[in-house]
Amino acid sequence: MAPGEDSIVTEVYNPDNHCTEAQARRLAVALRAGPVSTIDAAQSLDLVHPPSSVRWLRNRGYSIKTEWIYKTTEPGRRPHRVGLYVLTREPS
């Protein structure tokens, strides 16, 4: 964890916390475990606009690569072209 990050872990996982920083930190934690699609970020991490959270992290020194994939939102629906975010480096 980055310095000071452990003090906000509870707030980051609070589902009622929709501030920009909390959403971005939820995404950062998920990216450490592996790639995250925009659909997964919105549905599983409760991010209102995943690209904004990615931009917030990039502006703070995170290197996040965007790959393009096709993924369905629900069974039986046509797949959408969505971003797949891959953490390549954290700020030092």
Average pLDDT over residues 13-29: 85
CA–CA distance, 49 with 54 (Å, rounded to integer): 9
Look at residue 63 and give its three-state secondary structure: strand
**Residue 7: pLDDT band by 50, 70, 90 thresholds?**
very low
Six-digit token string for 11:
């707030």
Instruction: Convert the pLDDT of each residue in 33-78 to its tens digit.
Output: 999 999 999 999 999 999 999 999 999 999 999 999 999 988 889 9
Starting at the edge strand that comes first in sequence, how are the strands of the sheet with 80-89 ordered?
36-37, 80-89, 63-71
Kind and range of the H or E run holding 58: helix 50-58
Task: Spell out the domains of the chain, with CATH numbers in brackets.
Answer: 5-89 (1.10.10)
Above 60 in pLDDT, residue 6?
A: no
Beta strands, E only, 1-92:
36-37, 63-71, 80-89
